[in-house]
Structure 1
Amino acid sequence: MSQPAFFGPAEIEAALPWPRMVEALREGFAAGAEAPVRHHHAVPRPGMDRPADLLIMPAWRPGSSTGIKIVHVAPGHEAKGIPSIQGLYILFDGPTGTPRAVLDGAALTLRRTAGASALAASFLARDDVATHLVVGAGALCPNFVHAHRAVRPSLTKTLIWNRRPEKAAGVAQRLQEQGLDAEAVADLPAAVRRADLISAATNSTAPLIRGADVRPGTHVDLVGAYTRAMRESDDALVGLASVYVDTREGALAEAGDLLQAIDAGAFAPEDIRGDLRELVLGKAQGRRSVDEVTLFKSVGAALEDLVAAEAVVGARLPKD
């Protein structure tokens, strides 16, 4: 039996240019897959303020492919050059169980996460959005910038905020070197008031984006806060926005932004207007007016990993 192929970050990026990534996700959510809510385990780290997170995410299509992602999230070592998100994805032939490929889990996660946000924005962001604020200057930041520009080419300005201003400045400089109009900002509320589209990917446990600062017509894309104890928005934003999610099951199990707003009485599960599958299939309506504030809350779905892995392997391996 041949050994499974390995795909590293460069191969994953080459196989999944943003238009292809978004279209693969569109087709994947339309087709559907079996994807249980992920296993989420706290792993104690002696000497660290918070435990690491071990995430285990399986998904399968009967008679087709089976895949599982194992991810270790351990913030706090970035200064040593150690990424906070590391992991592997294993893709199996569904009928036989034969391993087909092993993929870099962090690179696959970055690609599909930003792609899912861009897919949501294709339904929820105004066609004329011009200024994009990214809150958090981690590995997802440049992926957000390029993914959203793939579906909203009207975007011409990028603002970047981070708790460590020098990190935001470094990302902005790299984007400038790619020919983009990018700017690091220090005043987050002022930047929120400038933005037409806001993406956030942080480990925050306190609100960063407040409803009082968000302009009418803004689309807010929240990707951090993947546990009940975390949040990037306040109750006011969740309460005033039209809220959409990647999957209802995942969001109502783990999305701190929504669960804390529910606990406060500012939101209810039935207030969710739709998920990505419903948007793709036309069962949920997207943006309804130019003044509507829309919010997409993502916690990550195993279906997205399966779709991305299948797309990479399909693009780079010969058919059996």
Structure 2
Amino acid sequence: MRLIDQDEVRERLTYEVCIPIVRAAMIALSSGETRQHLRSIIPLAEGRMFGIMPGALGERAVFGAKLISIFPANFAQGKPSHQGVVILFDPETGAPVCVAHAGEVTAIRTAAASAVATDALARPEATHLAILGYGEQAQTHLRALRHVRPISHVTVWGRSPDRGGAFAARMAAETGLPVVAADDVQSAVAQADIICTVSGADEPILKGAWVRPGTHLNLVGSSRAGPAEVDDDLVAASRFIADSREGVLAQGAEFLRAKASGRVGDDHVVGEIGQVLSGAIPGRQSADQITAYKSLGHIVQDLASVQALMSRGA
């Protein structure tokens, strides 16, 4: 059995490699080529969770699962917030053939998926990125989105001004970009062309009234029904695209809250990002339209990423 550890994932699953892999995986998902169930999440104490995500890339293709724990407080201690394994099985023999570090795969492929969505939905001239949150996904999103848009300015907001400032300084040094910590969410997004919500907030932190026309949003921080990062107004005002429509209708917290309030119905989820990528449905329809990509994360992204690492490393 092949073991792919954290260091190997970090070294070889670059954004140049991962972005096209995720793009192809999401097209395959929306075309019905893949097989998967909704994720199962077990809540634990203090906001911690354990998740199980099974799937297959096709009827006779590689299959497997991700087993992952989510401990949000870890990042402040220098540890990954997502820890676990992705395991692949051989489609011909049924034997387990590969185990990979799920935390590092998740960190990279989630940001790569947002980059794919941003490339498909954001205005071509978008340059100002706002990031709400300063954890692991904040840094990976900044790294990934630079591959699809000419980012020239970044603002970041987080609940702790000290941590927000430290994040801004660290990422400015890494990227050479002006990365500025904002005092509040409204000022962080005031001039943004692209907004990534990666805060893990329980209640909405971003209001529709603060988002200017033409903005693209990647809604990432909530991966289950319950916690929501943006308000009903913003959901209702946006062209709302899912990674998986089935998943978002069942577990997409922002959409479910807006639906429960009577602001939107199921048809507000106009389709999946894979359908936009394949040309089956339009993405952005005007320069002034607000677009939103709801990312729950999907097992096909993990399986395709690890399969590529295994194949290319053989």
- Give the TM interval when normalised to the shorter protein: over 0.9
For residues 114-146 of structure 1, the C-alpha deviation after alignment (integer angstroms, 9 at most, x for no partner) is: 111111111110001111011111111111011
Superposition deviation, residue 99 in structure 1: 2.0
| Whole-Å separation in 2 of the counterparts to 1:228 and 1:203 | 12
| Whole-Å separation in 2 of the counterparts to 1:29 and 1:194 | 30
Residues 15, 316 of structure 1: 8 Å contact kept: no
In structure 2, the residue matched to 1:84 is 81
| Whole-Å separation in 2 of the counterparts to 1:242 and 1:79 | 34
| Whole-Å separation in 2 of the counterparts to 1:93 and 1:22 | 24
| Whole-Å separation in 2 of the counterparts to 1:8 and 1:165 | 34
Q: 1:213 aligns with which of 210, 214, 222?
A: 210
Q: Identity across aligned pairs (percent)?
A: 31
Superposition deviation, residue 78 in structure 1: 4.2
| Whole-Å separation in 1 of the counterparts to 2:118 and 2:97 | 32
1:234-253 to 2 correspondence within 5 Å? 234-253=231-250
1:134 aligns with 2:128: no
In structure 2, the residue matched to 1:173 is 169
1:277-316 to 2 correspondence within 5 Å? 277-316=274-313
Q: Give unmatched runs, 5+ long, in structure 2.
A: none
For residues 247-294 of structure 1, the C-alpha deviation after alignment (integer angstroms, 9 at most, x for no partner) is: 011111111100000000111111112202211221110111111110
| Whole-Å separation in 2 of the counterparts to 1:72 and 1:58 | 15
Residues 81, 103 of structure 2: 8 Å contact kept: no
1:185-196 to 2 correspondence within 5 Å? 185-196=182-193
Identify which range, 177-186 or 76-85, moves more after superposition: 76-85
Identify which range, 52-61 or 241-250, moves more after superposition: 52-61
Residues 75, 135 of structure 2: 8 Å contact kept: no
| Whole-Å separation in 1 of the counterparts to 2:86 and 2:265 | 34
Residues 82, 106 of structure 2: 8 Å contact kept: no
Superposition deviation, residue 64 in structure 1: 2.1
In structure 2, the residue matched to 1:98 is 95
| Whole-Å separation in 2 of the counterparts to 1:227 and 1:38 | 9
Superposition deviation, residue 54 in structure 1: 1.1
SS at match of 1:57: strand
SS at match of 2:230: coil
For residues 217-247 of structure 1, the C-alpha deviation after alignment (integer angstroms, 9 at most, x for no partner) is: 0001100122221100001100111100100
In structure 1, the residue matched to 2:39 is 38
1:254 aligns with 2:251: yes
Q: Tell me the C-alpha RMSD between the 2 structures.
A: 1.4
Superposition deviation, residue 79 in structure 1: 4.2
| Whole-Å separation in 1 of the counterparts to 2:189 and 2:268 | 24
Residues 35, 301 of structure 1: 8 Å contact kept: no
Superposition deviation, residue 15 in structure 1: 2.0
In structure 2, the residue matched to 1:116 is 113
Identify which range, 235-244 or 21-30, moves more after superposition: 21-30
Superposition deviation, residue 77 in structure 1: 4.3
Residues 15, 311 of structure 1: 8 Å contact kept: no
TM-score of the two chains, using structure 1 as the length reference: 0.92
| Whole-Å separation in 2 of the counterparts to 1:165 and 1:97 | 50
SS at match of 2:293: strand
SS at match of 1:296: strand
| Whole-Å separation in 2 of the counterparts to 1:159 and 1:204 | 18
| Whole-Å separation in 2 of the counterparts to 1:81 and 1:18 | 22
Residues 132, 159 of structure 1: 8 Å contact kept: yes
In structure 1, the residue matched to 2:55 is 59
One-letter amino acid of the structure 1 residue matched with residue 93 of structure 2: T
One-letter amino acid of the structure 1 residue matched with residue 163 of structure 2: K
Residues 156, 181 of structure 2: 8 Å contact kept: yes
| Whole-Å separation in 2 of the counterparts to 1:80 and 1:286 | 39
One-letter amino acid of the structure 1 residue matched with residue 34 of structure 2: A
SS at match of 1:274: strand
Superposition deviation, residue 92 in structure 1: 1.5
1:8 to 1:167, Cα distance in 2 relative to 1, 3 A: farther
| Whole-Å separation in 1 of the counterparts to 2:74 and 2:9 | 24
Superposition deviation, residue 38 in structure 1: 0.8
SS at match of 2:188: helix
SS at match of 2:289: coil
| Whole-Å separation in 2 of the counterparts to 1:185 and 1:8 | 36
